[in-house]
Amino acid sequence: MLIPALIDLETIPADDPGFEGKSDAVRESMEFHVIASLQELGHDCPVVPFGPDPLKTLYEIQGLKPDLVFNLTEHFHGDRRQDAHIAGMLELLGLRYTGSGPDALMLCRDKILCKRLLGHHRIHVPRFYSVPVGKKKLRGKLPFPMIVKPAWEDGSDGISISSIVDQESDLYHRIGMIHDRMKQPAICEEYIEGRELYVGLLGNERLTALPAREIRFGRTGEGGPSIATSRVKWDEAYRDKWHITYDHADLPADEERKVAHLSKRIMRILQIRDYGRIDLRVTPQGQIVFLEANPNPNICAGEDIAEAAERIGIGHTELIQRIVNIALKRYG
């Protein structure tokens, strides 16, 4: 099949525009792993960068007459909220593509609205309030410690050890940083103590919850992080320093069923399609609390979803083919 990979322009290396793996940086990228798996499966997979002229890009894809577009875009000109519009343009042109539609992408991007919706459905979410840009008056009162996060980012952008605050002066400082540097509202929410789990899911009408993964924070008592900061996610040396690991979550059978059931329910409520990831915390009292939903998670080999799939015998190449099959089935 002809399955072009639609990717962010900024991710294309000048010395390897076809993602052939000529450098370590390329070989470690999600785009390389997805494209390599598609090619290994026998699919024709041209690389199409999105931008800087969106219409030109879309007409280029349309001219290819693809069987399916593998949508790997995450932003446009650095604005992550634009990923929903890219999906919307694919919809308008009648192009079949992998992953979530504009509604789910937009809803999951807006963490404030997402938490309110799930709270309405009686899913446990941290108590929170938001502070819009330009406002300094707090909209609520929560006990410390609290965590302060940007409203529209993902990949832990804007989150550091300093995001956990335990006094009012630090709270105001962190809100100001998000307003000034990131130009978006701040979410101030109660800090949830507990185990942090990542649950990958595949499917649509029939969902498969992959075995949960857990991030383990080793040296929290020595000043190490207890949340998934940007450095925790992207800096291997930093993880080694603080003994932070990602591994299979060893859960009691009953708790594992509850985690899987809740994750499926959240995926359906948020209308996430084909594949996704739900981030949760399980408190010492056994309460499962929603943290975030990712409708276009990293599906690189070696990352959480691929590792979880591997645990039940699904290699990376098969994982990519399953995503293709799931998307095609959705279109009928």
| Residue where a domain terminates, one of 80, 97, 114 | 97
Prediction pTM value? 0.93
Does 315 map to a domain?
yes
| 143 and 37 in a common domain | no
Report d(CA 315, CA 321) in Å as an integer. Answer: 10
Q: How many CB atoms lie within 10 A of CB 73?
A: 27
| 74 and 20 in a common domain | yes
Does 163 map to a domain?
yes
Does 203 map to a domain?
yes
**Helix, coil or strand: residue 293:** strand
Domain that holds residue 322: 193-212+249-331
Does 108 map to a domain?
no
Q: What is the CA radius of gyration of the chain?
A: 20
**Cis peptide upstream of residue 13 (ω within 30 degrees of 0):** no
Which pair of tokens denotes residue 242? 């603080």
Count structural domains, the chain.
Answer: 3
Helix (H) or strand (E) holding 232: helix 230-234
Per-residue pLDDT of the chain (332 residues; tens, 9 = 90+): 999 999 998 877 777 777 776 666 667 789 999 999 999 999 999 999 998 898 899 999 999 999 999 999 998 877 778 899 999 999 999 999 999 999 999 999 999 999 999 999 999 999 999 999 988 788 778 999 999 999 988 767 888 899 999 999 999 999 999 999 999 999 999 999 999 999 999 999 999 999 999 999 987 777 788 888 888 888 889 898 988 999 999 999 999 999 999 999 999 999 999 999 999 999 999 999 999 999 999 999 999 999 999 999 999 999 999 999 999 999 99
| 90 and 135 in a common domain | no
| 282 and 197 in a common domain | yes
| Residue where a domain terminates, one of 97, 117, 137 | 97
| 92 and 26 in a common domain | yes
Does 173 map to a domain?
yes
Does 46 map to a domain?
yes
| 204 and 289 in a common domain | yes
Q: Taking CA 84 as the corner, what is the angle to CA 92 and CA 81, rounded to the nearest 5 degrees?
A: 145
**Cis peptide upstream of residue 145 (ω within 30 degrees of 0):** yes
Strands 245-248 and 213-216: antiparallel
Q: How many residues does the chain have?
A: 332
| 28 and 144 in a common domain | no
| 179 and 49 in a common domain | no
Residues facing 240 on adjacent strands: none
Report d(CA 119, CA 113) in Å as an integer. Answer: 10
Does 106 map to a domain?
no
Strand stretches in the chain, DSSP E: 5-8, 47-50, 70-71, 128-131, 146-150, 164-165, 186-190, 195-203, 207-209, 213-216, 245-248, 274-282, 288-294
Does 168 map to a domain?
yes
Report d(CA 299, CA 275) in Å as an integer. Answer: 9
Report d(CA 244, CA 220) in Å as an integer. Answer: 10
| 184 and 202 in a common domain | no
Which pair of tokens denotes residue 307? 């590792």
| 199 and 184 in a common domain | no
307: domain CATH number?
Answer: 3.30.470.20
| Residue where a domain terminates, one of 75, 97, 119 | 97
Burial class (CB in 10 A: 0-12, 13-18, 19+), 221: exposed
| 315 and 199 in a common domain | yes
| 170 and 137 in a common domain | yes
